[in-house]
Amino acid sequence: MPTETEVALERAITSHRHHSLYSDRAAKIKQSAVRDVFDISLQPGLISLAGGNPFLQSLPLEKLGGMAYRLITEQGLTALQYGGGQGTERLRAQACEVMAEEGIEDADPANVVITTGSQSAQDVACKVFCNPGDVVLCEDPTYVGALNTFEAYEVTVETVAMDELGLVPDELQRRIDEVRSSGGNIKFLYTIPNFNNPSGITLAAERRQRVVEICQDANILIIEDNPYGLLRFDGHPIAPLRAGNPDDVIYMGSFSKILAPGLRIGWALVPAHLQRRFYLASEAVTLCPPTLNQMLISEYLDGHDWRGQITTYRSLYSERCAAMLQALEDFMPDGVSWTQPQGGFFVWVSLPEGIDTYPLLYKAIDAGVIFIPGAAFTPSDDPSSKLRLAFSAVSTENIREGVRRLAPVLQQAMGAR
């Protein structure tokens, strides 16, 4: 539902003599609900369960600052200069070490392309594979940033049903057949298999190979977006879809969640036969990723116990997730349900069908808490009875207080039906 400001802005845009100059895709690029919320969340006193920011307080800032100092003073002529479009060799090799932690043992640094965050990797993937009108399959719900990118490429987004174990393989096959029989040209399945943003759901290990085989048989690629994979609360990471399938999966990783999003460094591990065009397309967007940032991450990975840091994050986020689940249990009215994440940043809350969570956002703000309405995370324009809560950046006390503030807002909406 556009705000009054948005309507006014749209009117100003369409009445100008330059209006005819916009590309067809420009009209499809819209302000997202997440962005609305980002501005609101800066208000003091509000508890924000909206933004999926990592908790940076536990980073070794003194050490990182010293590394940046030495990089600039001792290697500044390299760190501040243009670099190669594919990213530094050192960081590409280190990205392979990070992926090995999750079970990708055969990654070749030559097939890694460093990108400006993994958002930029998604943009490049669309650039390389998607004509307007092509179809992309994804989970429902899925990452709002990916949906924005798909819109910018005028891609038709078709969703595949999930259950508590993630994508349902038979549903995937059914949707492929359905889309194709109505003439759709499917290019790839976009999936966040671990602790999906926003749902928190993980694709079960026993389903993973089946998903790959279905896509392989159908000759469509898989884009595996895995920023949270190492942030599993207990036990070992589940092997990514890419692990045994080097030719069919473009794997996207990120340093945003295991180190720092403000550095904007992610990467794509690309099948060897697709690497060249992917890399050249990436170069055409940004020339090269920021050199200083790549070198700082390399120093951190070599000079700090980054695996220990991830262990710290895992127990921190695990504790916060537990606090959120307990608060939901304690405060939420009957009829509200939620997911049980095994890692990551998010819990997905379902209200009874027919309740639109978007207008509830403004009531929640009055009550002193914010969330992101579920409509942001689906390609559909229909109202959504879901909402996303993030526990990553908030103390356990504030998580509990935030959920306590939210409960009567939801209860009232349910009672008003």
**Does position 375 bind its own copies by CB under 8 A?**
no
Specify the DSSP class assigned to residue 80: T
**Does position 291 bind its own copies by CB under 8 A?**
yes
CB of 112 to its own copies, least distance (A): 17
Q: Reduced to 3 states, what is the DSSP secondary structure of residue 411?
A: helix
**Interacting positions 225-264 with its own copies (CB under 8 A):** 256, 259-264
Contact criterion met (CB below 8 Å) for 371 and 406:
yes
Task: Give the one residue of 20, 308, 366, 416 binding its own copies; rule: CB under 8 A.
Answer: 20
SS3 per-residue string spanning 123-155: HHHHHHHCCCCCEEEEECCCCHHHHHHHHHCCC
Contact criterion met (CB below 8 Å) for 30 and 151:
yes
181 vs 219, which CB is nearer to its own copies? Answer: 219
**Does position 80 bind its own copies by CB under 8 A?**
yes
**Does position 181 bind its own copies by CB under 8 A?**
no
Question: Of 272-280, 303-311, 367-375, 395-403, which part binds its own copies (CB under 8 A)?
Answer: 272-280
**Interacting positions 186-205 with its own copies (CB under 8 A):** 187-188
**Does position 7 bind its own copies by CB under 8 A?**
no
Q: Which residue has the tokens 């090799």?
A: 93
CB of 324 to its own copies, least distance (A): 21
**Does position 90 bind its own copies by CB under 8 A?**
no
Question: Of 19-27, 169-177, 222-230, 374-382, which part binds its own copies (CB under 8 A)?
Answer: 19-27
Burial class (CB in 10 A: 0-12, 13-18, 19+), 236: exposed
Cis? peptide before 198, omega within 30° of 0: yes
**Interacting positions 303-362 with its own copies (CB under 8 A):** none
Distance in angstroms (rounded) separating the CA atoms of residues 322 and 333: 18
Strand partners, 190: 138, 223
Q: What token pair was written down for 96?
A: 């392979």
Question: Of 102-110, 130-138, 206-214, 367-375, which part binds its own copies (CB under 8 A)?
Answer: 130-138
**Does position 174 bind its own copies by CB under 8 A?**
no
CB of 194 to its own copies, least distance (A): 20
**Interacting positions 137-166 with its own copies (CB under 8 A):** 145, 148-149, 151-152
Strand partners, 234: none
CB of 247 to its own copies, least distance (A): 8
Distance in angstroms (rounded) separating the CA atoms of residues 286 and 87: 11
Task: Give the one residue of 87, 102, 111, 123 binding its own copies; rule: CB under 8 A.
Answer: 123
**Does position 365 bind its own copies by CB under 8 A?**
no
**Does position 414 bind its own copies by CB under 8 A?**
no
Q: What token pair was written down for 378?
A: 């689906």
**Does position 379 bind its own copies by CB under 8 A?**
no
Burial class (CB in 10 A: 0-12, 13-18, 19+), 77: exposed
Distance in angstroms (rounded) separating the CA atoms of residues 391 and 408: 19
DSSP structure string for 7-41: HHHHHHHHHSGGGGGS-TGGGG----HHHHHHHHT
CB of 222 to its own copies, least distance (A): 11
Strand partners, 159: 138
342 vs 378, which CB is nearer to its own copies? Answer: 378
Q: Which residue has the tokens 């999906």?
A: 196
Which CA distances in Å does 94 have to 7, 97, 256, 265, 375? Answer: 47, 5, 15, 13, 37
Task: Give the one residue of 90, 180, 277, 404 binding its own copies; rule: CB under 8 A.
Answer: 277
Total chain residues near its own copies (CB under 8 A): 91
CB of 115 to its own copies, least distance (A): 9
Distance in angstroms (rounded) separating the CA atoms of residues 125 and 249: 12
**Does position 136 bind its own copies by CB under 8 A?**
no
Question: Of 25-33, 229-237, 301-309, 317-325, which part binds its own copies (CB under 8 A)?
Answer: 25-33
**Exposed e or buried b per residue across 174-189, where buried means at least 16 C-beta atoms within 10 angstroms of its C-beta:** ebbeebeeeebebbbb
**Does position 24 bind its own copies by CB under 8 A?**
yes
**Does position 8 bind its own copies by CB under 8 A?**
no
Contact criterion met (CB below 8 Å) for 298 and 137:
no
**Does position 93 bind its own copies by CB under 8 A?**
no
Task: Give the one residue of 40, 51, 156, 209 binding its own copies; rule: CB under 8 A.
Answer: 51
Task: Give the one residue of 4, 44, 82, 308 binding its own copies; rule: CB under 8 A.
Answer: 82
Question: Of 13-21, 90-98, 102-110, 332-340, which part binds its own copies (CB under 8 A)?
Answer: 13-21
